[in-house]
Structure 1
Amino acid sequence: MDRITLGNEEFEGRNNAYVLADGDELALVDTGVATDDIRTDLRDGLAERGYEFADVDDIVLTHFHVDHAGLAGEIQRESDATVYVHEADAPLIEQDEAAVAALEERREALLEEWGLPEDVRAELRSFFADATHLEGPSAEPTPIEDGTVLEVGGTTLETVHAPGHAAGLCCFEIGDGSEASRGGEATDGGSRTGGEAFVGDAVLPVYTPNVGGADVRVERPLERYAETLRTFVDRGYDRVWPGHRDPIEEPSERARTILAHHRERSENVLDVLEEHGPADAWTVSAHLFGDLEGIHIVHGPGEAYAHLDHLRHEGVLAYDDGEYRLLERPTDLEALV
């Protein structure tokens, strides 16, 4: 797989932009942030392959986060490329004022609900204000949905919606639409297994993707993400190409490992409540992660909230006056997460 490695010191490590090319057809899967050094990395990477931004026909975005989509608008303006992104994320790629305002209002409401002190919230607002340069100009997206088949760069990509880390996060199965191209057989339910896919931040090789704070629009974020991980296991991919770092050679095993990680984290959340009594998400986050700065100010309590919210819906916790309290410790978390 032809990938251009891009720098990224703020988020989950090195970003990947994947190049799909067939003669005059050129597509990118993700683009990186809109900073001078990353722009240069991407331009130089394309130049080494005999291309420039103006040659890009299609851009396929795994989700709206700036480290994956920041340069999409700029490239589109130079090339008139079609920008594909899931319909849930399309308004944010377009930088629609109402969608951006709704996201910010939702985040502010949750930060208060989670119990973040005002000075910490102010620090986070300052971080986001300082990070606006990473976004780049808006793009005019073409919305897609689960099951959409794209023909880009001489390659067939089938869209698999994979929410959790982000509402519109998608994986893209690589092939020509046939069973053989995916390296596997149909399951009893008719879904194809095997083959390879671009997976954005659905599954990462080193870090576990944040849930709860990375996209505050997602309802029941841990449940949604656990469903995505189980889909990964069911699809049985042979190899996947993540949005950060190196390819994952045993994707199903990695998905199982991340599921186990979340069961362990739920155990840790229960330990906090058992030892310290009722608490809000910010307090639980402090016990789990300690002091936080930058983007982690929302990621930490967001992750704690994802687990607290899930355990509340499963009848393990009660929620009163902004705090969660333990009702009865479950004996089998595998049945819940």
Structure 2
Amino acid sequence: MERIPLSNSAFEGDNNAYLFSDGTETVLIDTGDWMATTREQLEAALAERDLAFADVDRIFLTHWHHDHCGLAGEIQAESGAEVYVHAADAPLVEGDEDAWNAMHDRQKRYFEEWGMPEDDQAALLERMVDGETTVETPTVTAFEDGETFAVADTELEVVHTSGHAAGLSMFRAEFDGQRQVFSGDALLPVYTPNVGGADVRVDRPLERYLRALQEIVDAGYDRAWPGHRDPIDDPADRARHIIDHHEERSWRVLDALDRLGPCDTWTVSADLFGDLEGIHILHGPGESYAHLEHLERAGTVVREGTEYRLADGVADELAASDEERWTLEY
């Protein structure tokens, strides 16, 4: 197995494609985005190994976001490669018009509920729609949690880790005498993947993501191969760090409501993240919504229309707790 770094303009840093070519077939996990520079980089990396797009037999996708699946259609067009993705993301990867229309309708509803200004809504939707129209989409084969696939001298096991995306999946494997996992965007070495905005189809996004992180802790992997940047040598420690990060963020959300009084998601986002541009216009309020929704179900926050306020007695508990942190349940 070899890691192929691919450039990406997104803040997460370089994407990774993972190549298996030491058996009787050529297999990729993720492909990078659809940009010309990314295609050139992937073609060059394959050429160094006497391979081309036409030699690729199978592609396994971690999820539907274009920086992970963007070249799958072009590769399939040249090679006839079979493309696999979780059933929840399959319609989006295939470019199903009804699935995308439902996504945009849901996004628009959330944008209104969050209190996103109309100009920001228009710019964001235009950016996302423009990206979709440039992608050559593949025909896909859907998989489910727990399915296994023989690849080279190892076996990939699907581990569904919804939160960042409805179909986000990791691939568990054992090689080099170690328990390893291709973690996609479920576990990243520098940034924490967005929850709430990155895929508005996900119900209870923060709860689901926290559960996935705890499962990573419990699994005891020796190494994680993420969708962006360098390998992670202590996946459990990184997962615990992200859990702590979300506990800290929930504390900050409660503090914002304590200081600002009843307010909408957009106002909480501005307090947490300041002014936002580009795709962050989606990620900031999405992340804030994920925490507000989680705290609402925990009973510490009450929603009234599009605004949220602290539940009765919570302000006193916050004042009494000083620097203590409340543990998030999931």
TM-score by length of 1: 0.92
Q: Residue 80 of structure 1 corresponds to which residue in structure 2?
A: 80
Q: 1:258 aligns with which of 210, 233, 242?
A: 242
Partner amino acid for 1:142? T
Q: Residue 201 of structure 1 corresponds to which residue in structure 2?
A: 185
2: CA distance, partners of 1:97 / 1:127 = 17
Deviation at 1:260, TM superposition (A): 0.2
Deviation at 1:154, TM superposition (A): 4.1
1: CA distance, partners of 2:295 / 2:283 = 18
Q: Residue 116 of structure 1 corresponds to which residue in structure 2?
A: 116
Q: Residue 160 of structure 1 corresponds to which residue in structure 2?
A: 159
Partner amino acid for 2:289? Y
Contact persistence 1:281–1:305 (CA under 8 A): yes
Q: Residue 137 of structure 2 corresponds to which residue in structure 1?
A: 138
Q: Residue 294 of structure 2 corresponds to which residue in structure 1?
A: 310
1: CA distance, partners of 2:50 / 2:153 = 17
Matching of residues 153-302 of structure 1 within 5 Å = 153-175=152-174, 183=178, 195-302=179-286
Q: Residue 22 of structure 2 corresponds to which residue in structure 1?
A: 22
Deviates more, 1:322-331 or 1:22-31: 322-331
Q: Residue 336 of structure 1 corresponds to which residue in structure 2?
A: 329
Deviation at 1:128, TM superposition (A): 1.6
Which SS does the other structure have where 1:120 is aligned?
Answer: helix
Where does the alignment leave 5 or more consecutive residues of structure 1 unmatched? 184-194
Which SS does the other structure have where 2:12 is aligned?
Answer: coil
1: CA distance, partners of 2:177 / 2:23 = 23
1: CA distance, partners of 2:7 / 2:105 = 31
Deviation at 1:334, TM superposition (A): 1.2
Q: Which runs of 4+ in 1 moved over 6 A?
A: none
Partner amino acid for 1:140? T
Deviation at 1:182, TM superposition (A): 6.8
Deviation at 1:336, TM superposition (A): 2.8
2: CA distance, partners of 1:77 / 1:174 = 28
Q: Does 1:58 align with 2:58?
A: yes
Partner amino acid for 1:221? P
Partner amino acid for 1:287? D
Contact persistence 1:12–1:207 (CA under 8 A): yes
Partner amino acid for 2:60? V
Deviation at 1:9, TM superposition (A): 1.3
Contact persistence 1:182–1:196 (CA under 8 A): no
Contact persistence 1:25–1:154 (CA under 8 A): no
Q: Residue 41 of structure 1 corresponds to which residue in structure 2?
A: 41
Q: Residue 94 of structure 1 corresponds to which residue in structure 2?
A: 94
2: CA distance, partners of 1:130 / 1:10 = 16
Partner amino acid for 2:299? G
Give per-residue Cα distances to partners, 1:158-180, cap 9 Å, x unaligned.
0100110001000101138xxxx
Contact persistence 1:230–1:255 (CA under 8 A): yes
Q: Alpha carbon RMSD of aligned pairs, Å?
A: 1.5
Give per-residue Cα distances to partners, 1:191-246, cap 9 Å, x unaligned.
xxxx0010100010000100000111000000000000000001010100000000
Deviation at 1:151, TM superposition (A): 1.6
Q: 1:319 aligns with which of 292, 296, 303?
A: 303
Q: Residue 125 of structure 2 corresponds to which residue in structure 1?
A: 125
Which SS does the other structure have where 2:190 is aligned?
Answer: coil
Partner amino acid for 1:301? P
Q: Residue 150 of structure 1 corresponds to which residue in structure 2?
A: 149
Q: What is the percent sequence identity of the aligned residues?
A: 55
Deviation at 1:50, TM superposition (A): 1.1
TM-score by length of 2: 0.94
2: CA distance, partners of 1:326 / 1:304 = 15
Contact persistence 1:233–1:252 (CA under 8 A): yes
Partner amino acid for 2:279? I
Contact persistence 2:247–2:328 (CA under 8 A): no
